[in-house]
Amino acid sequence: MHIPQTLLAIFWKRVAMFSGGYDMDYRTERDSLGEIRVPESAYYGAQTARALENYSISGMGVQAAMIENYVLLKKAAAEVNQEFGLLDADRSRAIVRAADDIIGGALRDQFVVDAFHSGAGTSFHMNVNEVLAGRANEILTGVRGGKSPVHPNDHVNMGQSTNDTFPTVMRMASRRQVPGLLDALGELRGALAGKGVEFKPIVKAGRTHLQDAVPVTLGQEFAAYAETIRQASDAVASASPSLEELGIGGSAAGTGLNTHPRFRFRIIEEISRYTGINFRPAADLRASMQSNLPVALLSSSLRVLALEVSRICNDLRLLSSGPATGLKEINLPAAQPGSSIMPGKVNPSIPEMVNMVCFQVIGNDTALGWANGAGQLELNVMMPVMAHNLLQSLQILTNALRALTSRCIQGITADAARSRRYAESTMALATALNPRIGYDRAAEIVKEALASGRTIVEVAREKSGLSEDELNRLFDIAAMTGQE
């Protein structure tokens, strides 16, 4: 069995960490299962160290968006708990300062839990609590890590649970990524619409079932692509507001146990102030813990978007195929040499990349859908894979669409002469004869044109009985496109 080298490296590094290798110094910390060694340099504590032993799975960490938004939530919680007189000022200020350090980019190497870890995200949540406590303790005492004077559970996690914080952070992180995707979609739509205007005069053969059909213009094709992107963008935008309902304050089972009765309202006010997004308390805290419908809804809209973008990329690859033996109605800008053996070959590399990104997004949604349906009673524990997949989909779609716009769509040119030649050669021109001579006689003209190798116009002159002026009017291919 082949094991990727990155996973082997992670495995042996962690073996060395926990067997005394790398000449590493350790301290001993405790959790409810007992003692465990933690690297002396680590800000995290026992539960994170235990997660490192248990979950060497993918070599992928939890996304930065989850780290940033979890830390932001903890900062707001420390401030609100101080406001309610539940957390003293020194501890609160230390936690807030630690949070600001991390939000500013520090200590990111301390978030070491694998993307695939414990149910509900407990391991990553405790990784966050422990790093914040470890840094807060360093601020207060000069010694990093540990549980005193700032305890990861009692102080950083005051009035909270994995069960209400993880779904809250998943919604926050996802909702905050949506504007970037919508901006990328707007740029793509604008570029496609621009090509629709630029290519408006270029008449070409339409194709249905990959067979010749009546003429259209290249501009009409690209304008239709732009409209599809508008519709898909609207679907994403419509799905995102449901993420703004947050279940923070529900505590362990949605009942608010051990939580100040005003906590959920004040912390959401603070989150909204920090982010500029109008987050609001969930209508039912139990429902927000049992169900991740808003997450699944956004993921589903990304799936639909991916399917449409992939279809458009397939068209771009087909329309640019050749250059000598394909359609070659458009030319895509060259992104890189296309072959290690065939000189001069250039491939549609950017649309190919976007296709692969779309396939990944579709797969992510499939896994997320299964996870969304796997909740039981008061909690859906499959949230880590849901958060990972949705945030990855948002990130890779945003980046891929920007590349598609700037490195492909904006540089597309058209082969107008080749397009017109196809339009004049299509057997579907006979469709224009239907109102004058009927479908059956027009079909006979098509058959003879195919058999003889002559054009539809030539055979129609001979067989239709129509005048030259009428044939010229009927076979005006520009008029056939319906453009004024």
pLDDT surpassing 50 at residue 22: no
Global pTM? 0.91
pLDDT surpassing 90 at residue 481: yes
Cβ(307)–Cβ(358) below 8 Å: yes
Partners of residue 280 on adjacent β-strands: 245
The least confident of 127-136, 137-146, 426-435 is 426-435
Per-residue pLDDT at 435 = 94
* DSSP, res 376: B
The least confident of 11-20, 92-101, 143-152 is 11-20
Partners of residue 211 on adjacent β-strands: 208
Cβ(113)–Cβ(139) below 8 Å: no
Q: 413: helix, coil or strand?
A: strand
Per-residue pLDDT at 452 = 93
The CA-atom distances, in angstroms, between 334 and each of 24, 225, 286, 328, 409 are 50, 21, 54, 14, 12
The mean of the pLDDT values for the chain is 93
pLDDT surpassing 90 at residue 1: no
pLDDT surpassing 80 at residue 154: yes
User: Taking CA 263 as the corner, what is the angle to CA 62 and CA 132, rounded to the nearest 5 degrees?
Assistant: 35
The dihedral through the CA atoms of 395, 401, 404, 406 has a sign that is negative
Please pick, among 2, 32, 209, 340, the residue that the annotation labels catalytic.
Answer: 209
- Both structure tokens of 299: 């993921």
Mean pLDDT (whole number) for 28-45: 95
Per-residue pLDDT at 77 = 98
Cβ(422)–Cβ(204) below 8 Å: yes
pLDDT surpassing 80 at residue 365: yes
Question: 16 or 67: which carries more pLDDT confidence?
Answer: 67
Cβ(138)–Cβ(99) below 8 Å: no
339 noted as active-site residue: yes
Mean pLDDT (whole number) for 154-171: 97
- Helix H or strand E encompassing 134: helix 122-141
Please pick, among 41, 148, 238, 339, the residue that the annotation labels catalytic.
Answer: 339
Banded pLDDT at 201 (limits 50, 70, 90): very high
467 noted as active-site residue: no
Per-residue pLDDT at 327 = 96
Q: Over the stretch 73-129, which tens digit does the pLDDT of each residue have? A: 999 999 999 999 999 999 999 999 999 999 999 999 999 999 999 999 999 999 999
Question: 401 or 20: which carries more pLDDT confidence?
Answer: 401
- Both structure tokens of 167: 């779904």
Q: Over the stretch 227-278, which tens digit does the pLDDT of each residue have? A: 999 999 999 999 999 999 999 999 989 999 999 999 999 999 999 999 999 9
CA atoms within 13 A on the CB side of 282: 26
pLDDT surpassing 50 at residue 20: no
Mean pLDDT (whole number) for 430-452: 93
Please tell me the distance from the alpha carbon of residue 114 to that of residue 102, in angstroms, as a whole number: 19
Per-residue pLDDT at 483 = 82
Cβ(429)–Cβ(456) below 8 Å: yes
Cβ(248)–Cβ(167) below 8 Å: no
